[in-house]
Chain A
Amino acid sequence: MTSLWARVEPLLARVQKPARYIGCEDGAITPRHAPGKVSWLLAYPDTYEIGLPNQGLQILYEILNERDDAVAERTYAPWNDLETLMRQRGVPLFSVDTHRAAGDFDLLAFGLAAELVYTNVINMIDLAGVPVRSAHRDESHPLVALGGHCAFNPEPLADFVDLVVLGEGEEVIGEITEVVRDWKASGRTPGSREGLLRELSKVPGVYVPSMYEVEYDGPALRAVTPKYADVPAVVHKRTVADLGQWPYPKSPLAPLTEVVHDRLAVEVFRGCTRGCRFCQAGMITRPVRERPAEQVRTMIQSGLRRTGYDEVSLTSLSTADFSGIEQVTTSINPAGCGTSDTISISLPSLRVDAFTVGLAGQVSTGRRSGLTFAPEAGSWRLRQVINKLITEEDLYGALESAFSQGWYRAKLYFLTGLPTETDLDTTGIIDLARNCVQLGRKHTNRASVTVSLGGFVPKPHTPFQWFGQNTTEELRRKVQLVRDAGQRAKGVTVKWHDPSATLAEGIAARGDRRIGNVMERVWRAGGIFQEWSEFFRLGRWEEAMAAEGLSIDWYVHRHRDEHEVLPWDHLSAGLHKDFLWLDWQESLAEHGLPDCRWTPCYDCGVCTGYGIEHVVASATAPAGGSQGTGQDLSRGGEVPVTLLPRRAEVVAP
């Protein structure tokens, strides 16, 4: 394996942001390749700026490079200016660490965070000089692997990949390495790829799509069954029981050029049991596993010292829920981090309540401009349907607290196209925003609220997986309702996500293997970087669906029934399908479900099925908000006393 640098270098004088392609980051590891080692190329199928901060990739990069039998490098999707030059001059996809050709690695492993990058995955496989379909590859080609949240329905990419990892990669990546290492040691003989894939399919958490037969019954899916007796009928996700055992990344990557999250990130917990019914991340990452507060502190200190950053982001799906949050935020001492400068702490995914804002106030240094909250729906009724149990009082309390403490801009995230949503719910978004502005004007004339509106895409492994997504026309109509109402509301600005991109996301999110041909057509028609509006054209997707004889209505807009075989039924995040169905019915009955971290278990299946549990330092819900608990916790830290009613009977949709 040799470096392509001499061929890449002249191209970089001709492209935008060439620093994307040079590597050299602080924290980058000098890879030591050796014949006996398994070489991984960890790929993020989006630009460097978006991919570099990805924590999953950084964690695996480090864990693999610590092993004696593995070496890992990184690559990101080249922007189309460089790609054009690469294709003209026959330069294949390369790693940023040592500029080795992607095709020279044993594994090309993609982390997938969003569906609209699927065509980039195909493009990067092709740019690597590897046949895009797994059936056309042989022993000389890398194995193409997928991981990340989208791996929970990888069917649209099933024909393009060799293996898929469900769940967290810390442990399984070593097990895969061992299987591939033994195969390499045995001589990587012609015809041995099939046997290797079969071996890999026995590793818990690994799904090898080619080991399964898919049967259809007209448009419907009849079954996805293993071809061999030793291949599991259902693949279960992997979960790290104790986050404290995995204090990664130990040497975080600090890029040489601007990236989207240009600060240190320390993951404070994994999983979320707030139970928001639209949220795939919350469903597939259960249970909650907190990192010990002391370890969080150590990771912040050593991370800041290593990178020279003066800002740390405490990441999780809802950071204010971290039991040790105040312990951590009040104890960070700049001197301990090797600097006498101030350190600012950012709390992404803010919960909507005054306590959280108070916390944000304690940790912010410098200018207070904007805070972001996600009430998601415009009425209490609809928030019960989606189980985002934020009361209006919570929201107003949060905003009051923010505006009174010097913030003057708030951004509120909402979804539209949610189950049971009426126009009153939709326009309720602006009522909330207008009230927030009025609250703010008591404190500052500059108070303003931006409403950011996204179209809802039902996701696999959630209670809403049976719901028919709104049509593009319906979403446009709802966006227009909000825009019209917004124009009459002083201090309210409305931003919205393109409903046609929402449709494409819907095709990919719940697609089956037949969507693979659609992906290939969209890619061949030039549809890369589909999450970038300058590249996205819905027409390519519609034409591809029509050419394959597939109905958008059937895949996207149709409500599913209880007994339909779903394309991801053979892949498990641990959630019982009947729990999800019951929760779907509860949703339609407008019933909320409390957070099981602090209230009795309702047996979603994850803890009981996998013999794991929540790792939460505090037995009581955090103070100051009712979200997800349905309780009045304004006095703080009291033992829960009331639960939301749960009806046993099933209500028809």
Chain B
Amino acid sequence: MKLRIRHTKLGKIRFTSHRDTARHWERAVRKAQIPLAYSAGFTPRPRMSFGLALPTGAESLAEYLDIELAEHADVQLDELPALFSAELPVGYEVTDVVLREAGSPSLQEDVVACDWELTLEGVTHPELATAIEVALAAATMPVERERKGQRSTDDVRPAILHLSAAPPADDPRPRLCATLATTGRGLRPVELLAAMFPTLDPVDTAARVLRTQQWIERDGVRREIIPADPVAARTPVECA
């Protein structure tokens, strides 16, 4: 049985890496006593594959993974979210477990864009509004990066699919909502901030980085990987 799972990653555990998340899942599924299918060969690995890496330090309302259960696994799909959530570290909440569509591409291949909500420190609401206007009006947005000792400049403007300021909330700090492409030259949220606020330190500016959605495309229409529960407004959780 092939399953697709959606979960949150909020609070202190955001400081764990993508690889760590894989580790957490492997142990949680074993603790939940759900038998997994294994790869063949000398070093059998459980059949689990993860979606786009979430940067260490970023939180998310929409992380995905695919797992394959052993043939003899006898499970009730609707019981799995609670079962997995109980075995995962505090900060993970499994929101959906569905059967994976037969023949669907892997998450890594399928996702075309992500929504981000960035809570900003040291930026005023008007400054944010101006920066959004400037960025959207720009024809190009060159970003320099160093890779394997080679400096290169890419135009990341095509990766910006949407920018807007979030409506005011309890937190008085401005929040930037962005939809960023993940195909081609993808754009990381901290890179976006560096480009929008070149005089500020992007790490200090990004007080909170939250992935809110991941998108796939079917027949030219963008849609959610697993359509989300409309009342899934979730708040960060801190452990201990």
| Stretch in B13-21, B141-149, B169-177 with 4+ CB within 8 Å of A | B13-21
**In this complex, what residue of A is CB-closest to B45?**
A366
Task: For B90, list chain A residues within 8 Å (CB).
Answer: 24
Q: Is the CB of A341 within 8 A of B17?
A: no
Is A18 in contact with chain B by the CB < 8 A criterion? yes
A82 to chain B, nearest CB (A): 12
Q: Is the CB of A26 within 8 A of B15?
A: no
What is the size, in residues, of chain A's interface with B at 8 Å between Cβ atoms? 33
Q: What's the dominant secondary structure at chain B's contact region? A: mixed
Q: Is the CB of A19 within 8 A of B20?
A: yes
Q: A310 vs B87: C-alpha distance in the bound complex, in angstroms?
A: 15
Task: For A254, list chain B residues within 8 Å (CB).
Answer: 27
Q: Is the CB of A367 within 8 A of B43?
A: yes
Is A340 in contact with chain B by the CB < 8 A criterion? yes
A179 to chain B, nearest CB (A): 29
Interface string of A308-340 (1 = CB under 8 A from B): 111000000000000000000000000000111
Q: A21 vs B90: C-alpha distance in the bound complex, in angstroms?
A: 15
Is A256 in contact with chain B by the CB < 8 A criterion? yes
Which of B17, B38, B206 has the largest number of chain A CB atoms within 10 A?
Answer: B17
Q: Is the CB of A339 within 8 A of B33?
A: yes
**In this complex, what residue of A is CB-closest to B121?**
A10
Given A18-B56, A19-B16, A341-B38: A256 touches B24 (CB 8 Å cut-off): yes
**In this complex, what residue of B is CB-closest to A30?**
B240
Is B81 in contact with chain A by the CB < 8 A criterion? no
**In this complex, what residue of B is CB-closest to A12?**
B15
Is B57 in contact with chain A by the CB < 8 A criterion? yes
Q: A5 vs B20: C-alpha distance in the bound complex, in angstroms?
A: 21
Q: A308 vs B46: C-alpha distance in the bound complex, in angstroms?
A: 13
Is A23 in contact with chain B by the CB < 8 A criterion? yes
Given A26-B89, A258-B19, A366-B44: A308 touches B27 (CB 8 Å cut-off): yes
Interface size of B as a range: 35 or more
A56 to chain B, nearest CB (A): 23
Is B36 in contact with chain A by the CB < 8 A criterion? yes
A371 to chain B, nearest CB (A): 16
Q: A18 vs B203: C-alpha distance in the bound complex, in angstroms?
A: 14
Is A22 in contact with chain B by the CB < 8 A criterion? yes
Q: Is the CB of B57 within 8 A of A12?
A: yes
Q: Which of these, B15, B27, B36, contacts A19 with CB under 8 Å?
A: B15
Q: A308 vs B30: C-alpha distance in the bound complex, in angstroms?
A: 5
Q: A541 vs B30: C-alpha distance in the bound complex, in angstroms?
A: 49
**In this complex, what residue of B is CB-closest to A337?**
B30
Q: Is the CB of A18 within 8 A of B15?
A: yes
Q: Which of these, A22, A28, A307, A341, contacts B35 with CB under 8 Å?
A: A341
Q: Is the CB of A24 within 8 A of B239?
A: yes
CB contact list, B23-46 vs A, under 8 A: 23-24, 26-31, 33, 35-36, 38, 42-44, 46
Q: A305 vs B24: C-alpha distance in the bound complex, in angstroms?
A: 14
Q: A177 vs B30: C-alpha distance in the bound complex, in angstroms?
A: 38
Q: Which of these, B31, B44, B89, contacts A256 with CB under 8 Å?
A: B89
Given A24-B90, A256-B13: A98 touches B30 (CB 8 Å cut-off): no
Q: A10 vs B239: C-alpha distance in the bound complex, in angstroms?
A: 17
Given A14-B203, A308-B87: A19 touches B42 (CB 8 Å cut-off): no
CB contact list, B63-92 vs A, under 8 A: 70, 72, 87, 89-91
Q: Is the CB of B30 within 8 A of A24?
A: no
Q: A18 vs B20: C-alpha distance in the bound complex, in angstroms?
A: 12
Is A595 in contact with chain B by the CB < 8 A criterion? no
Is B12 in contact with chain A by the CB < 8 A criterion? yes
Q: 8 extra interchain contacts, Cβ-Cβ under 8 A, other than A257-B17, A338-B30? A: A256-B24, A257-B20, A305-B31, A308-B87, A309-B30, A338-B31, A338-B33, A339-B30
20 residue pairs A–B, Cβ–Cβ below 8 Å: A10-B204, A13-B206, A23-B239, A24-B89, A24-B239, A98-B240, A306-B31, A307-B27, A310-B30, A338-B30, A339-B35, A340-B35, A340-B70, A340-B72, A341-B38, A341-B46, A342-B44, A366-B42, A366-B44, A367-B43
